[in-house]
Amino acid sequence: MTTTILIAQSYGAADKVLEFHTQELPVLQSGMARIKVKSAGINPIDARRMTGEFRHGSMPQTFGTEFAGEILELSGNSTFFKIGDAVLGSGGGFTHATVIDVPVTNLIHKPESMSWDVAGTLAGVSQTASTILDEIGPIKSLLIHGASGGVGSITIQLAKERGIDVVATASTKNQDYLQKLGAKAVVYGDGLVSRLKNVHPELFDASIDMSGTEEATQASLQTVKEDGFIGTIAGKPVSSPRVQAVWVKRNVNNLKHVVERVADGTFSWEVDQVFRFEEASKAYAYILDGHTRGKNALQF
């Protein structure tokens, strides 16, 4: 069996460096499932790795951390899964490929009512948002910078579920969207601190930055309690030692929690754009333009 993988052998623009590579799959290793990918989410980190802004690993690069698809093969016996099952989860190494091998422990069943495009975009944001709130711990108020993307959208809703008062920043066009999710929405840009204090006069217990801007860092330093948590998931250099990087911890129970709520309509979720796998370069260029609402997906 073969798989076609999206790769880049150098850093650069999407239309210059992305290419498709077809190769034979090895014998399936113990504890793994072989998946025919139906949909895979595209994260900003994928595009930033492509350009070289964020450099991690050797060449050629592969991309993608989440997927939804059908099980083609299982190594050994499994109590919970069988060949033909529709599943979603985190990848074992990459997910922007037609067929992938994934640890069985990364999988959950896809709800029947959920579309492939939605299912393929949830694993990363669900587990990242859950990690953020677990790392912060019990709080009453939270400031989220750049909240209209996928992780922000889920973080708002998980925080509201926990009874946390959320203030979230985004561009002007996404203010109504943030309010629909349950946050007090604030436009970023000049005068941000003043606007934050207008909607939330008290200091925040914590903040999390999803935009990676110096504006977000400075606003948090001025509006979060001295002993409060200030974190970032942007993966960019920060100007203050108070800002702590938060890295996702995979937990299928956290993933299942979010997926069930999206499936039954308790949580809102948007797939901004869906691109065919063959249009990967167009999809990555779109990601770099920013202002995605929710998540973008590759369809196979």
Task: Supply the DSSP string of 23-74, one letter for each residue.
Answer: EE--PPPTTEEEEEEEEEEE-HHHHHHHHTSS--SPSSEE--SEEEEEEEEE
Q: What residues pair up with 135 in beta bridges, in sequence order?
A: none
pLDDT at 78: 82
3-state secondary structure of 274: strand
Residue 16 Cα distances to 10, 11, 44, 54, 277, angstroms = 9, 9, 18, 17, 16
DSSP 140: S
Largest CA distance in the chain: 60
The residue among 130, 151, 293, 263 whose CA lies nearest residue 209 is 151
> Alpha-carbon Rg of the chain, whole angstroms?
19
Residue 137, both tokens: 């711990």
pLDDT of the chain along its 300 residues, tens only? 999 999 999 999 999 999 999 999 999 999 999 999 999 999 888 999 999 988 877 899 999 999 999 999 999 878 899 999 999 999 989 999 999 999 999 999 999 999 999 999 999 999 999 999 999 999 999 999 999 999 999 999 999 999 999 999 999 999 999 999 999 999 999 999 999 999 999 999 999 999 999 999 999 999 999 999 999 999 889 999 999 999 999 999 999 999 999 999 999 999 999 999 999 999 999 998 876 777 999 999
Q: How many degrees, rounded to 5, is the angle at CA 179 between CA 264 and CA 45?
A: 75
Residue 225, both tokens: 């309690």
- pTM of the predicted protein model: 0.93
